[in-house]
Amino acid sequence: MRSLIRLAAMSVLLSTPGQAQQDSAPPPVTARPADVASEDAIIAALYDVISGPAGTPRDWNRMRSLFAPGARLIPTGKRRDGSWFMLQWDIEEYIGRAGPQLEANGFFEREVARRSERFGNMVHAFSTYESRQAEADSVPFARGINSIQLSSDGTRWWVVTILWEGERPDNPIPPKYLVSRSD
């Protein structure tokens, strides 16, 4: 029995990353090489693709091309009643739920600071953001932190997970996350 468990664990570990998700996922979208060439490039593309004025469609295929098969987008925070929430979306759920609001209302999000750590082909980036409804707005309507996990397959970078939480009066962004740093 132990041998079967070990064999099953080894087959999972040695299988192609995301293989199970790829079998049932739609065909992948080819990424722009410049979007996935580096950690900086893929994070810049991520912010760029969701940003735009009201009434302007986003390039959702470009967005899809940034994400690894099975990737998750996870908004977290506090509801008005004080209870905690954490949603888990795949890329299609994000596009279906957040996309119409981004396009209807206008949305510009930009990175204002980043703290990154890297080990081998994986990167964890705490990316502090500001959100505006119009690019020219002088004051953001929201700020927060995107916790972005990236992986490189040696050819390109992939977004694996984005977990984010918005700033609130009871949860201000600490000063250390308003200054960029890499380890």
Each residue's pLDDT tens digit, 130-142? 999 999 999 999 9
In the predicted model, what is the mean pLDDT of the chain?
89
CATH number for the domain spanning 96: value is 3.10.450.50
Unique residue bearing structure tokens 């070990």 = 6
59 within a domain of the structure (yes/no): yes
Strand spans (E) along the chain: 67-78, 84-86, 108-119, 122-132, 142-152, 157-166, 181-182
* pLDDT tens figures, 134-171: 999 999 999 999 999 999 999 999 999 999 999 999 99
Q: Which residue range(s) make up the domain with 53?
A: 32-182
CA atoms within 13 A on the CB side of 35: 18
174 within a domain of the structure (yes/no): yes
pLDDT reported for residue 25: 53
4 within a domain of the structure (yes/no): no
9 within a domain of the structure (yes/no): no
93 within a domain of the structure (yes/no): yes
18 within a domain of the structure (yes/no): no
The answer to whether residues 130 and 141 touch, using CB atoms and an 8 Å cutoff, is no
The answer to whether residues 68 and 151 touch, using CB atoms and an 8 Å cutoff, is yes
Distances (CA, A) of 15 to 19, 20, 21, 77: 7, 9, 12, 35
25 within a domain of the structure (yes/no): no
The number of folded domains in the chain is 1
DSSP code, position 21: H
8 within a domain of the structure (yes/no): no
